């Protein structure tokens, strides 16, 4: 039954993914209405988070931000489903849904350090990162390939959906079935130690409010709140002297995101974990303030563990 369910889910998403992106955006508008007005999906969480982060805005302004967030949420779903149909990377290139702004920065950081850690959050559409090898339209090559590119994720409670999401996230790869860079978060430490002599790029989604209570969790300032954060990526980078950068994903317009690499340090062994994490949250907050609706407000990010 498990295999049948996975096969059906993958087949349905694959068929839907073949539709043009403009059709998906039409469906995304419907999803936005469904999430925000009918199902009222986590409306109280969204309102609470916006009130915490933007106390200077009026109720009407925060309500407008909430509506914009649900439009963005609908587009996230639409883009993710479309992305799953990009089994030929030429389709992805033609659409130009994501574009790398400064590949030379990523190349410099990667070449100068044993490995590179990219920390990012739920800004933009993180479900599109599996196509990063094809988002460079400049003459400066990105140093990332399927052999050195790693994405750290947290396994879903449903085995079926976890397998479906994995297949969808890496749709454009040349060899999806044998891709070894998809690392469950609890296996990250072991993986880094095992591959410490290999130059890798580790993409780590880094959020406040860690999943588990740990003495390694740190308090940082974020939107005027004192919140806890996970620190695994920064700690490993410091241990092995890796370079660390913030990966920004700004929405320029519907259907087009800009990826930008912002250096945090070129050698993490010279910077303590607290400093790295505070700088990461400073950059994240600045990006959210520029585009508040481009962030995932429906999670309880400001609740203490």
How confident is the model at residue 130, as a pLDDT? 92
Place of tokens 């749709």: 171
CB neighbours of 18 closer than 8 A, spacing ≥ 6? 85
Sign of the C-alpha dihedral computed for residues 163, 78, 286 and 262 taken in this order: positive
pTM above 0.85, yes or no: yes
Angle at 151 between CA 158 and CA 118, to 5 degrees: 135
Burial-class residue 103 by CB neighbours within 10 Å (0-12, 13-18, 19+): buried
* CA nearest neighbour of 302 among 46, 35, 49, 95: 49
How confident is the model at residue 275, as a pLDDT? 96
pLDDT tens digit at each of 305 positions of the chain: 668 878 888 899 999 999 999 999 999 999 999 999 999 999 999 999 999 999 999 999 999 999 999 999 999 999 999 999 999 889 999 999 999 999 999 999 999 999 999 999 999 999 999 999 999 999 999 999 999 999 999 998 888 889 999 999 999 998 888 899 999 999 999 999 999 999 999 999 998 766 666 666 889 999 999 998 989 999 999 999 999 999 999 999 999 999 999 999 999 999 999 999 999 999 999 999 999 999 999 998 876 55
CA-to-CA distance for 47 and 55, rounded, in angstroms? 11
Q: What is the pLDDT of residues 196-228, one digit of tens each?
A: 999 999 999 998 766 666 666 889 999 999 998
Strand partners, 244: 117, 265
């Amino acid at each position: 039954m498990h295999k049948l369910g996975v096969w059906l889910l993958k087949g349905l998403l694959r068929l839907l993914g073949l539709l043009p992106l403009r059709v998906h955006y039409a469906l995304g508008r419907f999803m936005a209405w469904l999430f925000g007005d009918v199902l009222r999906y986590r409306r109280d969480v969204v309102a609470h988070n916006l009130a915490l982060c933007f106390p200077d805005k009026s109720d009407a302004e925060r309500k407008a931000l909430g509506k914009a967030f649900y439009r963005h949420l609908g587009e996230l779903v639409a883009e993710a489903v479309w992305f799953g149909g990009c089994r030929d990377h030429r389709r992805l290139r033609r659409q130009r849904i994501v574009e790398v702004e400064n590949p030379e920065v990523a190349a410099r950081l990667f070449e100068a350090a044993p490995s590179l850690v990219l920390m990012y959050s739920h800004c933009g559409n993180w479900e599109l990162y599996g196509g990063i090898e094809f988002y460079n339209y400049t003459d400066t090559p990105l140093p990332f390939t399927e052999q050195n590119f790693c994405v750290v994720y947290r396994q879903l409670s449903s085995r079926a959906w976890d397998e479906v999401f994995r297949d969808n996230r890496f749709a454009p790869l040349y060899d999806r079935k044998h891709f070894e860079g998809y690392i469950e978060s609890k296996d990250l430490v072991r993986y880094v130690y095992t591959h410490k002599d290999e130059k890798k790029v580790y993409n780590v989604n880094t959020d406040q409010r860690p999943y588990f209570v740990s003495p390694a969790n740190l308090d940082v300032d974020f939107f005027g709140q004192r919140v806890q954060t996970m620190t695994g990526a920064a700690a490993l980078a410091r241990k092995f002297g890796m370079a660390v950068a913030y990966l920004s994903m700004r929405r320029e317009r519907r259907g087009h995101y800009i990826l930008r690499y912002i250096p945090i340090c070129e050698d993490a062994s010279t910077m303590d974990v607290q400093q790295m994490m505070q700088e990461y949250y400073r950059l994240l907050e600045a990006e959210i303030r520029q585009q508040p609706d481009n962030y995932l407000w429906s999670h309880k990010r400001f609740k203490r563990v």
